[in-house]
Structure 1
């Protein structure tokens, strides 16, 4: 099974990092009980933390790391599309060099924190554009309420569908909560693009 490449904002990894870890956290309250031990209170889950390690190899490895570093310096959250995890709105929190960089080899590690502010601020109404579909035009069906739906064709990705309609990937993901993994869509599925 070939995995889709990992993406964050406008950056796509040339090959997926070799190590992934996801940490789930829960906040707990601890109150002392008079003449007793203590009482724990579940305050609910907090952010998920996604960590990984990888390397860039070959001629231009350091240049590729600099591209990733420029994405780190861009402000605000973005959609992290991971080959295994569910896509998530996240902040790029840390990027670490594992050793002195060379032109042909750079080892690195990264950390993303899940953002709970949702996708609403990043969604915009898309307008269909030329391209897409097997015959060069998007395959879409409209509804009386202004919704626009696309029928997935063989070989299509959610990223490509969004681009074909001039939409942001974050907006299309927000319109399709039924998609648990945006990397995995099947021919014949209906995807809302507006």
Structure 2
């Protein structure tokens, strides 16, 4: 029975790869404690482990699915946010490049008088465009940061709910398994 139980622990431990380490360690310890306790009836042990192994596996599967869904929702939201700002970023980049190219063209003029006049006029015009572009960029940065912060909060809340559900369900299953192993076999 101990060999069978240790094999079960190895299977459960490998499945726990996605469970945060503290929760996994607490569950591993609880299962190991249960397995190491001497039991009187091998048939009861076999029945209880057979009954609660699938229950614990389902709890793990639900937790992994919920955690994966939290990450998927975050990834989709993040991609949507990036897509919403792509056009604006391309526009800002185009303005910056156009301003630089306009000023660089002044350097290619033949005489110093033409070059200085070009730099003066073009610099003033481009400074206005760059000032406007700068304001737009700062505004976009603030909005983007707020949107990213919001989806991070949603993901964190989602993950915490999944972990709380896992912890509660797992604690209940361990309690019922312990009761079963102690001979308190319920039909629920």
Length-normalised TM-score, structure 2: 0.20
Higher fraction of helix: 2
Higher relative contact order (CA 8 A, sep 6+): 2
Higher fraction of strand: 1
Length-normalised TM-score, structure 1: 0.19
